[in-house]
Amino acid sequence: MTQFSLAVHGGAGTILKKNLTPELEVQYHAGLRAALDAGHAVLAKGGSALDAVTAAVCALEDEPLFNAGRGAVFTSDGQQEMDAAIMDGTTRAAGAVGGIFGPRNPIRTARAVMDRTDHVMLIGPNALNVARAADLPFAEAEYFYTQARWDALQSTLKMRADGVEDDDPARRHGTVGAVARDMQGAVAAATSTGGMTAKAPGRVGDTPIIGAGTFADNETCAVSATGHGEVFIRYTAAAEIAARMRHAGQSLTDAAAHVVMHDLAPNDGSGGVIAVDAAGNITMPFNCDGMYRGMVTQDGAFKTFIYREEAVN
C-alpha cells in the first residue's frame, strides 16, 4: 500500500500546445513541481494530509501563472474576488471563504475559519478579520495584479460588447488545488481560485462549496475540482464521487471518471478533478483540452502534465 500520495492541479480548460510557448510550458511545470515539493516535504516527514494540501496550495497561490492568490482573474468590474476551501477527511472539519481580497493566501484564511471559528464558510469583512486575528499576511492590489489576467478581462468584455457569445467557458477558467493521503491514512483536500474571468461581482463558484469543488472523507476520498463552477455546484461534483464509492462500491477512478465524463461534460460542465482515496490511489480525469496537474507518492517520482495526450490515468 502507498505510504502517502499527493496530487495538485493548476486549473483545466482550453489549454492547447499551439497556445503555449516552450518557455511557458517550462514555467507551468516548475510551478506544479514547486507545489508538489512543498506538499511532499510535509508528507515525507510524517506530517498530515491537511498540512500538505495547505502548503501545496500556498505555493500555487504564490505563483502568478495560476488563477488563485497572486494572478487571480478579474470580475467584470475589474476587481479580484477569491474563493477557497479546505477539508479534513478525518474529522470532516471544513473551512471556506468566498469573495475575499487582501490575504496573500486565501487558503490559509479558509484554514483559519476551520481552525479558529465554529463556522464552515465566511464572507465579507469578518472573513478578513479571521485572517488578521490569525496574523496571516496581507498584500496590496499591485501584488495580485497580472497584465495577462487584465488583458483576458478586456478581451472578454469586448466579446460581450460586440455581442459575441463566449460559447466556451473552458477559455475563462482556472483554479488551483491539492489532495493528499498521509502516512496515517488520512486524506484532505484544498482548493483556491479567483473564479472565472469577468464573473459578476459577488459571484461565488464551486471552489468554496463543500461537496461541489472541495470534499474529503477518510472513508472514501478527497477531491479538488476545477471547471465551470455553476455546473459543478448543480451536480454536487465532489460529493457525487464520494457517494458513488460509498453507495455503489465504485473505485475512485471509476467514480471520478463517471462524474467528469457523464454528469459534467454533457451539461456544459467543462473541467476536471484530482482525487485520492484512503489507499492512496490517485486519479485526475478532465473533459477539456488540458489540465495543469501533477502527482507524487513516497517513491519520490514527481510527475507533472499539461495536455490531454499526456494523460496517465
List interacting residues with ligand ASP (CB under 6 A): 11, 173-175, 193, 195-196, 205-207, 213, 226-227, 229, 271
Q: Among the options 75, 109, 175, 191, which is catalytic?
A: 175
Min. distance of Cβ 23 from ligand ASP in angstroms? Answer: 23
CB nearer ligand ASP, residue 14 or residue 90: 14
Query: Are 110 and 224 within 8 A, CB to CB?
Result: no
Min. distance of Cβ 177 from ligand ASP in angstroms? Answer: 8
How many angstroms separate the CA atoms of 173 and 156, rounded?
A: 12
Min. distance of Cβ 74 from ligand ASP in angstroms? Answer: 13
Cell numbers representing residue 2 in the block: 502507498
Beta strands in the chain (DSSP E): 5-13, 82-88, 94-100, 121-123, 176-181, 187-193, 214-216, 221-227, 271-277, 282-283, 290-297, 303-307
How many angstroms separate the CA atoms of 37 and 107, rounded?
A: 18
How many angstroms separate the CA atoms of 217 and 71, rounded?
A: 30
Using CB positions, name the residue nearest to ligand ASP: 229
CB nearer ligand ASP, residue 73 or residue 180: 73
Provide the β-strand partners of residue 97: 84, 122
CB nearer ligand ASP, residue 111 or residue 173: 173
Provide the β-strand partners of residue 293: 9, 305
The DSSP annotation for 162-213 comes to: TT-----GGGT---EEEEEE-TTS-EEEEEEE--STTPPTT---STTSBTTT
Min. distance of Cβ 260 from ligand ASP in angstroms? Answer: 13
- Region of 236 (left: φ > 0; alpha: ψ -120 to 50; beta: rest) is left
CB nearer ligand ASP, residue 81 or residue 182: 81
Query: Are 302 and 312 within 8 A, CB to CB?
Result: no
Cell numbers representing residue 47 in the block: 506530517
CB nearer ligand ASP, residue 115 or residue 230: 230
CB nearer ligand ASP, residue 106 or residue 195: 195
Min. distance of Cβ 202 from ligand ASP in angstroms? Answer: 13
Min. distance of Cβ 205 from ligand ASP in angstroms? Answer: 2
Task: List CB contacts of 2: < 8 A, sequence separation 6 or more.
Answer: 181, 279, 280, 281, 297, 298
Residue 21 annotated in active site: no
The residues assigned a catalytic role are: 175
